[in-house]
């Protein structure tokens, strides 16, 4: 998958070429003194290691926003935070990633700020973790959602309305470029981001299938505000539904949350092994 740097170079390369040619024409040939100095310089024997990719985990809701309240009174915000903390522990144990949480305690963070945190940290992947509620208490199972302008089904549309009720978010802009270049860059990056998000969603479903009960048609899409980072592959994972007695009872158990986290760890491994992540600028 192309990196953001490569995308930027594609858009700006034509403008840079004349300046580069002019600079090359004005460069003097090296003298004997400079050739001697270069030959005595120490050889490069290695190069710095690229930093580990940053995975940003986003426990849904928090503080004054409890999220869904289960049939026996469990708060979604507590389940989401506990599961995200367990996933962070498992990911850190692999030594392959840096991992941060948008919130590590029971506080309210607006949706736009969650996205801004991930962008400010230059995250390679954004995973929002939830356990929402539906009108039908018989519906159970995990599912994963990606960004789309339209919803894949009525149930997902209603879910997006519920999740988006807190605030609005306008995507990032490219500064210091002409409007035409900004449009080109934004279009290329959005396309790459959506491909990466779809790859991550497929990896989640494949990892969950043998270990965690899944909703029918578990990979869905809608206009979730928290997934609108134009430059970070992003998914929203519903670990189950608090409106279902079996899902709620399972998510209250640390052993089940650990199993969910293990499946998500496998999915994240698959995402990065498959080249789903950006190399950040």
Give residue 240's region: left, alpha or beta (phi > 0; psi -120 to 50).
Answer: left
In the prediction, which pLDDT does 173 show?
Answer: 44
* Nearest alpha-carbon partner for 171 in 193, 156, 151: 193
Place of tokens 């991550």: 200
The mean predicted confidence, pLDDT, of the chain is 80
In the prediction, which pLDDT does 264 show?
Answer: 98
Tallying the residues shown for the chain, one arrives at 281
**Residue 6 in domain:** no
**Residue 146 in domain:** yes
Q: In the structure encoding, which two tokens stand for residue 211, read together?
A: 């270990």
Report the Cα 27 to chain-centroid distance in Å.
Answer: 45
pLDDT band at 267 (very low <50, low <70, confident <90, very high): very high
Pick 94 or 192 by higher pLDDT: 94
**Residue 17 in domain:** no
d(CA 87, CA 257): 9
What's the CATH number where 152 sits? 3.40.630.40
**Residue 40 in domain:** no
**Residue 41 in domain:** no
pLDDT at 97 exceeding the cut of 90? yes
In the prediction, which pLDDT does 179 show?
Answer: 59
Question: pLDDT for 161-187, tens place per residue?
Answer: 667 654 433 344 444 555 565 555 555
Question: pLDDT for 17-28, tens place per residue?
Answer: 444 444 444 444
**Residue 166 in domain:** yes
In the prediction, which pLDDT does 22 show?
Answer: 46
Question: pLDDT for 181-211, tens place per residue?
Answer: 555 555 555 677 889 999 999 999 999 999 9
Are 139 and 244 in contact by the 8 Å Cβ rule? The answer is: yes
Pick 115 or 222 by higher pLDDT: 115
Note down the domain range covering 129. 54-273
d(CA 204, CA 220): 12
**Residue 35 in domain:** no
Pick 213 or 180 by higher pLDDT: 213
Structural domains in the chain (count): 1
Report the Cα 196 to chain-centroid distance in Å.
Answer: 9
| DSSP one-letter string for the chain | ---HHHHHHHHHHHHHHHHHHHHHHTPPPPPHHHHHHHHHSPPP---PPPPPPEEEEEE--BTTB---B-TTS-BHHHHHHHHHHHHHHHHHHHTS-EEEES-SSS----HHHHHHHHHHTT-SEEEEEE----S-TT---EEEEEE-SS-SSHHHHHHHHHHTTS---------SS-HHHHHHHHHHHHHHHHHHHHHHHHHHHHHHTTTS-EEEEEEEEE--GGG--TTS-EEEEE---TTSHHHHHHHTSHHHHHHHHHHHHHHHHHHHHTT-SPPP-
In the prediction, which pLDDT does 60 show?
Answer: 96
**Residue 237 in domain:** yes
CA angle 99, 104, 110 (to 5 degrees): 100
* Nearest alpha-carbon partner for 160 in 216, 205, 223: 223
Question: What pTM does this model have?
Answer: 0.74
Give residue 170's region: left, alpha or beta (phi > 0; psi -120 to 50).
Answer: beta
Are 97 and 268 in contact by the 8 Å Cβ rule? The answer is: yes
Q: What is the mean pLDDT of residues 128-138?
A: 95
Are 189 and 4 in contact by the 8 Å Cβ rule? The answer is: yes
């Amino acid at each position: 998958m192309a990196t953001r740097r490569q995308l930027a170079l594609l858009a700006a390369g034509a403008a840079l070429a004349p300046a580069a040619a002019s600079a090359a024409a004005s460069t003097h040939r090296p003298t004997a003194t400079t050739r001697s100095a270069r030959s005595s310089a120490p050889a490069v024997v290695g190069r710095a290691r690229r930093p580990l990719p940053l995975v940003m985990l986003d426990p849904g809701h928090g503080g004054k926003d409890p999220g869904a309240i289960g049939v026996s009174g469990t708060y979604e915000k507590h389940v989401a935070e506990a599961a995200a903390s367990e996933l962070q522990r498992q990911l850190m144990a692999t030594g392959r990633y840096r991992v941060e949480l948008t919130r590590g305690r029971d506080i309210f963070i607006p949706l736009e700020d969650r996205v801004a945190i991930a962008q400010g940290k230059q995250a390679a992947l954004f995973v929002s973790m939830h356990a929402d509620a539906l009108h039908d208490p018989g519906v159970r199972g995990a599912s994963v959602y990606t960004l789309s302008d339209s919803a894949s089904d009525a149930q997902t549309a209603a879910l997006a309305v519920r999740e988006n009720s807190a605030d609005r978010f306008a995507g990032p802009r490219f500064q210091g470029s002409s409007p035409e270049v900004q449009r080109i860059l934004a279009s290329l990056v959005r396309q790459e981001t959506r491909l990466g998000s779809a790859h991550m969603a497929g990896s989640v479903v494949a990892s969950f299938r043998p270990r965690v009960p899944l909703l029918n048609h578990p990979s869905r899409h809608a206009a979730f505000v928290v997934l609108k980072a134009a430059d970070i592959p992003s998914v929203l994972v519903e670990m189950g539904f608090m409106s279902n007695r079996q899902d709620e009872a399972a998510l209250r158990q640390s052993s089940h949350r650990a199993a969910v986290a293990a499946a998500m760890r496998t999915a994240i491994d698959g995402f990065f092994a498959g080249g789903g992540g950006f190399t950040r600028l």
